[in-house]
Amino acid sequence: MAAKISTLSHKESPRVKTTPPGGHTMRTVLCFGDSNTHGQIPGKGPIDRFGPDERWPGVMSSALGTDWLVIEEGLSGRTTVREDPIEGTHKSGRLYLTPCVQSHAPLDLVILMLGTNDLKARFGQPASEVAMGIGVLVHDIRELAAGPGGMQPEIMIVAPPPMLSDLREWNSVFAGAPEKSHQLAIEFEMIADSLECHFFDAGTVAQCHEDDGFHLGIDAQRALGLALAQEVEAIGWPTA
């Protein structure tokens, strides 16, 4: 499926009144995701991460340049709205989203890349329900009015790349998930269109690494970061 940015936006954000030493204003983007935003190395544990400049938010930050402050908020095992009975209730993205957004406000843009962990067998959710979870997060963000001047920030929904068929030791945890993961992009695109959010399909530029079948390798991290930098710039920000 082709990558797409919706031409619609809920509210256009004015410039952030943040002035770095260079004297120019900056914009701020929050990258809210799971282990692939955290930068977990495929086949390794959650504390084994790629370096800050190797993870996709860091790559995106370098590509966007000094006009942007990129905030990285990734957590291994994070879901959209589901409290994990095994890994803990704190894995629900919804529980942390409000304090996260408020602590980093004002925000011009929030990028949401979640959904993979919602496909774990313990949750038993179809791709359509995962997309609805993303929709709940969008509503929560908008209610906070955490953009500059109390406006609503722009929101970009990113569909994670589909899983590979062999998830190694994770096969039982994600039983049935690889097939569902191929449906996430279309479901996420539909929810993005209905909520007038920007959308990008990460599977068009990156694929999961064979070492575990659901994490991004270093090349995929870089490809995603560069692609998202282009998508961010294409939103069409006001010049004043």
User: Residues of 47-80 as b/e, b for ≥16 C-beta within 10 angstroms?
Assistant: eebbeeebbbbbbbbebbeeebbbbbbbbbbbbb
123 vs 50: CA distance, rounded Å? 29
Kindly list the distances between the CA atom of residue 174 and the CA atoms of 66, 103, 166, 181, 188, in Å, as whole numbers in the listed order: 40, 33, 10, 10, 20
Q: Which residue has the tokens 């774990």?
A: 120
- For 2-27, what is each residue's pLDDT tens digit? 443 333 333 343 333 444 444 447 99
- For 59-91, what is each residue's pLDDT tens digit? 999 999 999 999 999 999 999 999 999 999 999
pLDDT (tens, 9 = 90+) of the chain, 240 residues, equals 344 333 333 334 333 344 444 444 799 999 999 999 999 999 999 999 999 999 999 999 999 999 999 999 999 999 999 999 999 999 999 999 999 999 999 999 999 999 999 999 999 999 999 999 999 999 999 999 999 999 999 999 999 999 999 999 999 999 999 999 999 999 999 999 999 999 999 999 999 999 999 999 999 999 999 999 999 999 989 875
Which spans in the chain are helix H? 35-38, 56-64, 93-104, 127-144, 177-181, 184-194, 218-233
34 exposure class (CB count in 10 Å sphere: 0-12, 13-18, 19+): buried
* pLDDT at residue 173, as a whole number: 97
* pLDDT at residue 234, as a whole number: 97
Please state whether beta strands 154-159 and 68-74 pair in parallel, antiparallel, or not at all (unpaired). unpaired
Q: Which residue has the tokens 């270093």?
A: 218
Q: Is there a contact between 86 and 122 (Cβ–Cβ < 8 Å)?
A: yes
Q: Is there a contact between 97 and 141 (Cβ–Cβ < 8 Å)?
A: yes
Is the domain defined by 27-233 classed in CATH 3.40.50.720?
no
86 exposure class (CB count in 10 Å sphere: 0-12, 13-18, 19+): exposed
Residue among 118, 120, 115 at smallest CA distance from 174: 120
Cα 29 off chain centre by: 11
Q: Is there a contact between 39 and 55 (Cβ–Cβ < 8 Å)?
A: yes
